[in-house]
Amino acid sequence: MIESKLITDYDGAGEINEEIREQIGAPKDAQLAFMVFETTLDEEVYYTCLSGGEMKEGAITMDGIDSPDPSFTEVGAAALKTLINLPVGKVRLVLHGLRIGKKPLRDKVIDAIKAHPPGSRICFVGDFTEELDGKVTPILNFNGSTEIRA
């Protein structure tokens, strides 16, 4: 069973948030929330995010680089930076590219999470405005929000 809660009230993207607030005309003190989740799978907690961008293939881990450099949208970069800066201990950071293909998307997401130890931070990178729009949050079983304080 998988369940995810949106992490709110945590401003972990710093300067990127300031740039995004300027671009959308939001007040400087406006709270921004990105697609960063506390995800529970089989009673183990992971931290996940959905970042707009592109990866050629595979994953990048702190143990070694298995893929070319990813590129992110500005909001995607803010989600990743928020995920990296969560004050929850650092086990592993993984960037995992997502695309529609032969293997069901649900299996790709679940397998990517299960491949890493609990507490890992897993950033799913892909085109969340078109190809993956509305397809990943149901897999993560988005259900409410939670707060993580520094």
Summarize the confidence of residues 34-38 as an average pLDDT: 92
The rounded distance, in Å, linking the Cα atoms of 42 and 72 is 30
Q: Given this model, what pLDDT does residue 103 score?
A: 94
Instruction: Specify whether the CB–CB gap between 119 and 46 falls below 8 A.
Output: yes
Q: What is the dihedral angle through the alpha carbons of 78, 84, 88, 92, rounded to the nearest 10 degrees? A: 150
Q: Given this model, what pLDDT does residue 88 score?
A: 86
80 CB-near residues (< 8 Å, 6+ apart): 49, 51, 72, 95, 123
- Could you report the per-residue pLDDT of 58-88, keeping only the tens digit for each? 554 444 445 456 778 888 888 988 898 888 8
Task: State which amino acid sits at residue 108.
Answer: K
Instruction: Specify whether the CB–CB gap between 83 and 95 falls below 8 A.
Output: no
Q: Given this model, what pLDDT does residue 150 score?
A: 60
- Structure confidence at residue 110 as a pLDDT band (50, 70, 90): very high
pTM of the model: 0.85
Domain boundaries, the chain: 2-132
Q: Given this model, what pLDDT does residue 147 score?
A: 86
Instruction: Look over the chain and give the mean of its residue pLDDT values, rounded to a whole number.
Output: 85
Nearest 5°: phi and psi at 79? Answer: -65, -45
- Could you report the per-residue pLDDT of 111-135, keeping only the tens digit for each? 999 999 999 999 999 999 999 999 9
Q: Give the count of alpha carbons within 13 A of 18, CB side only.
A: 2
